[in-house]
């Protein structure tokens, strides 16, 4: 059922107050206009600047100028109006913090119930005072679907027909790609971006549409488009994790769906700090050739109560509109710490946001692959680890000797050095207990020394640097041991270690 059908049913069933969540005023208004026409009702639209349009015939009392503030006057008009009317109040949500408005709305809910009169409030986000929860029916007005986008595309093509300077021919494949890439935008944005593409490129160009989508994601403030910078070959070790990921490379295709494979849900990567968890997360996007969105878990928790929950819902929606894609939640424990603990400091907001997120993880059908990483399991709510949330939980330990050798080689090569001039086996032996990040630091430190001495990097520089470093794992021996024991029964290892 689409939003128009849902709204029609609710109006016919005489629900008193609807709250439509959408950015798209004109689309909502024209949908309502259509519904009203079909149901023989008059639509009145109100905004603080324009007042009520068309004006309302009051059923009782003389028409007297009032000194009420606009928003209260609007509700008074609704109260006094006759049957077979629908009222759309634009930008009304800020007023709903006012006690008088809340009271009037509750009165109206009672009065309008069972009458052929409906009050519709719309706003870009849902912020409903608890007092009104029972009186207001929330309708999610989804962004345009592919069918509607295609219609808009055809309209744009029709509008520029006869213009010899633009090429509007589209083969079926390009057409599909254009329509798909426009998903997640509002109808106004879609129209503008199609027009912009025709002006700039003289044809419909996918890149322009995607560029617009990046803008939207940036503006949402919660998600960040992450460019694919790292390759799988930049990651040393983690053979088992790589193998697991490799097997799922084509699992987001239609072919996989037809074969009967569900889209993978996601993976949780736990482990010791500096061992490449974030690195491999970034590499997956490039390996699978999917766009990656980074979720800023900390920023989800806005300052206003109710806003955090709205934030997480919005982030999920945006991510799903980009699907298939990867959603990366780095150091997830930092955002959700305390979600299930005794922390009552935020009156349960964290817990509710967390619950929304968990439910989504459990039930999501859109192909959004969630990669979560965590350094500290004790801060991670146990519900997160339950079956059905992630496809798999991997544990990344400190690299063993063979892996350290690989990491040395990766980073020496990355800095343009000839591996034949270095004994990486010896370096690996020397750096037991080092994380990948510390190995990289050894190379960087040695490069400084060599550069300062005015010659190229040699084995001695690396050895000296490695000997001077005390790895974090020495100071954190007990923590790491605890983490290992915890992980050994709950997770899969990211690689097989042979003991050194």
Contacts with ligand ADP, residue ranges (CB under 6 A): 235-237, 273-279, 373, 399, 407, 410, 436-437, 440
CB of 439 to ligand ADP, least distance (A): 7
| Candidate segments 151-159, 231-239, 277-285, 419-427, binder of Mg ion by CB under 5 A | 277-285
User: Measured from the CB atom, is 84 or 486 closer to ligand ADP?
Assistant: 486
CB of 434 to ligand ADP, least distance (A): 10
User: Measured from the CB atom, is 211 or 479 closer to Mg ion?
Assistant: 479
Structure tokens at 241: 């994790």
| Candidate segments 72-80, 131-139, 224-232, 274-282, binder of Mg ion by CB under 5 A | 274-282
For 40-145, where are the alpha helices, taking DSSP H only? 70-80, 99-112
Cβ neighbours around 59 below 10 Å, total: 10
CB of 496 to Mg ion, least distance (A): 23
Contacts of 219 (CB under 8 A, 6+ apart): none
User: Measured from the CB atom, is 236 or 493 closer to ligand ADP?
Assistant: 236
From the list ligand ADP, Mg ion, none, pick the one residue 216 interacts with, judged by a Cβ distance below 5 to 8 Å according to partner type.
none
From the list Mg ion, ligand ADP, none, pick the one residue 325 interacts with, judged by a Cβ distance below 5 to 8 Å according to partner type.
none
From the list ligand ADP, Mg ion, none, pick the one residue 410 interacts with, judged by a Cβ distance below 5 to 8 Å according to partner type.
ligand ADP
Rg of the chain taking only CA atoms, in angstroms: 29
CB of 212 to Mg ion, least distance (A): 31
Structure tokens at 75: 């509700």
Encoded one letter per residue, x for contact with Mg ion by CB under 5 A and - for no contact, window 152-191 reads: ----------------------------------------
Return the ∠ at Cα 467 (arms to 463 and 471), rounded to 5°: 125
278 binds Mg ion (CB under 5 A): yes
User: Measured from the CB atom, is 7 or 241 closer to Mg ion?
Assistant: 241
From the list ligand ADP, Mg ion, none, pick the one residue 274 interacts with, judged by a Cβ distance below 5 to 8 Å according to partner type.
ligand ADP
Give, in order, the Cα–Cα distances in Å from 391 to each of 262, 301, 322, 417: 11, 26, 21, 39
Residues 401-440 that bind Mg ion (CB under 5 A): none
Walk across the sheet containing 368-374 and list its strands: 223-226, 292-295, 325-329, 368-374, 266-271, 392-396, 492-493
CB of 330 to Mg ion, least distance (A): 6
Give, in order, the Cα–Cα distances in Å from 211 to each of 159, 196, 197, 286, 492: 24, 11, 11, 18, 38
Structure tokens at 247: 């097997």
Cβ neighbours around 72 below 10 Å, total: 15
CA dihedral sign, ordered 39, 40, 41, 42: positive
Report which of 393, 401, 410 is spatially closest to residue 497, judged by C-alpha positions: 401
Q: How many residues bind Mg ion (CB under 5 A)?
A: 1
From the list ligand ADP, Mg ion, none, pick the one residue 279 interacts with, judged by a Cβ distance below 5 to 8 Å according to partner type.
ligand ADP
CB of 273 to Mg ion, least distance (A): 7
Cβ neighbours around 139 below 10 Å, total: 19
CB of 227 to ligand ADP, least distance (A): 15
CB of 424 to Mg ion, least distance (A): 24
Structure tokens at 277: 């968890």
Contacts of 402 (CB under 8 A, 6+ apart): 237, 428, 498
User: Measured from the CB atom, is 46 or 394 closer to Mg ion?
Assistant: 394
Provide the binding-site residues for Mg ion, judged by CB under 5 A. Answer: 278
């Amino acid at each position: 059922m689409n939003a128009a059908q849902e709204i029609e049913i609710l109006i016919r069933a005489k629900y008193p107050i609807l709250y439509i969540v959408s950015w798209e005023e004109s689309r909502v208004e024209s949908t309502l206009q259509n519904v009203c026409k079909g149901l023989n009702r008059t639509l009145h639209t109100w905004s603080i600047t324009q007042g009520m349009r068309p004006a309302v015939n009051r059923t009782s009392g003389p028409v007297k100028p009032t000194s009420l503030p606009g928003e209260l006057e609007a509700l008074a008009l609704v109260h006094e109006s006759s049957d077979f009317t629908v009222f759309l109040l634009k930008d009304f949500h800020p007023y709903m913090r006012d006690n008088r408005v809340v009271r009037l709305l509750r009165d109206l809910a009672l009065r309008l119930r069972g009458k052929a009169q409906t009050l519709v409030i719309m706003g870009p986000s849902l912020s409903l005072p608890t007092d009104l929860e029972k009186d207001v029916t929330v309708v999610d007005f989804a962004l345009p679907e592919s069918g509607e986008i295609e219609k808009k595309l055809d309209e744009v093509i029709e509008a520029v027909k006869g213009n010899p300077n633009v090429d509007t021919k589209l083969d079926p494949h390009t057409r599909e790609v254009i329509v798909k890439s426009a998903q997640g935008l509002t109808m106004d944005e879609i129209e503008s971006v199609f027009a912009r593409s025709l002006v700039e490129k003289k044809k419909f160009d996918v890149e322009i549409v995607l560029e617009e989508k990046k803008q939207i994601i940036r503006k949402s403030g919660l998600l960040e488009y992450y460019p694919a910078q790292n390759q799988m070959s930049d990651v040393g070790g983690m053979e088992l994790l790589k193998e697991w990921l490799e097997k799922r490379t084509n699992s987001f295709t239609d072919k996989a769906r037809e074969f009967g494979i569900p889209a993978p849900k996601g993976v949780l990567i736990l482990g010791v700090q500096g061992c490449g968890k974030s690195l491999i997360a970034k590499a997956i996007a490039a390996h699978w050739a999917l766009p990656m969105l980074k979720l800023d878990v900390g920023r989800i928790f806005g300052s206003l109560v109710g806003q955090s929950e709205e934030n997480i819902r919005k982030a999920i929606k945006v991510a799903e509109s980009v699907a298939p894609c990867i959603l990366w939640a780095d150091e997830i424990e930092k955002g959700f710490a305390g979600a299930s603990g005794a922390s009552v400091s935020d009156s349960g907001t964290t817990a509710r946001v967390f619950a929304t997120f968990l439910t989504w993880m459990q039930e999501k059908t859109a192909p959004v692959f969630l990669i979560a990483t965590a350094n500290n399991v004790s801060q991670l709510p146990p519900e997160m680890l339950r079956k059905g949330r992630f496809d798999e939980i991997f544990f990344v330990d400190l690299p063993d000797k063979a892996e350290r050798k690989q990491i040395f080689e990766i980073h020496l090569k990355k800095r343009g050095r000839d591996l034949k001039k270095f004994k990486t086996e010896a370096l690996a032996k020397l750096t037991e207990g080092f994380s990948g990040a510390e190995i990289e630091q050894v190379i960087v430190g040695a490069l400084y020394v060599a550069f300062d001495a005015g010659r190229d990097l040699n084995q001695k520089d690396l050895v000296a640097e490695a000997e001077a470093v005390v790895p974090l794992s020495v100071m954190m021996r007990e923590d790491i041991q605890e983490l290992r024991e915890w992980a050994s029964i709950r997770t899969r290892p990211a690689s097989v270690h042979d003991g050194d």
